[in-house]
Amino acid sequence: MSNQRFASVWDAIEDTPPEAENMKLRSALMTALKSHLAQTKMSQAQAAQLFGVTQPRISDLMRGKINLFGLDALVNMASAAGLHVDMRIFQAA
């Protein structure tokens, strides 16, 4: 048994650093969207109409089914919700 330490759960479970970075970004976007929908008390049907997707797609988002969402789709949803996505890029430690 190893006592490895990781900066993120994604670093621990993904096979490569690029995959882990992608999952970190998707996770952050999904969390922001879920929080926004909860704060605005928007129904899944309302959110689906706003985002231009189906209600089951919003259900997948709310249940955290991260593998069903790509970065493009999540950025588009965030923009439709009136959220601004800001990206920072810096040298890895």
pLDDT tens digits in sequence order for the chain, 93 residues long: 567 787 777 766 777 888 888 999 999 999 999 999 999 999 999 999 999 999 999 999 999 999 999 999 999 999 999 999 998 888 876
What's the confidence (pLDDT) of residue 13? 72
Query: In this structure, which topology does domain 9-80 adopt according to CATH?
Result: 434 Repressor (Amino-terminal Domain) (1.10.260)
The vertex-71 CA angle with 75 and 47, nearest 5°, equals 45
Give me the pLDDT at residue 5, please. 82
Q: Where are the domains of the chain?
A: 9-80
What pLDDT is recorded for position 77?
A: 96
What pLDDT does residue 11 have?
Answer: 67
Instruction: In whole angstroms, give the CA distance from residue 6 to residue 12.
Output: 6
Contact 80, 74 (CB under 8 A): no
Give start and end residues of each alpha helix (H) in the chain. Answer: 9-13, 17-40, 44-51, 55-62, 71-80
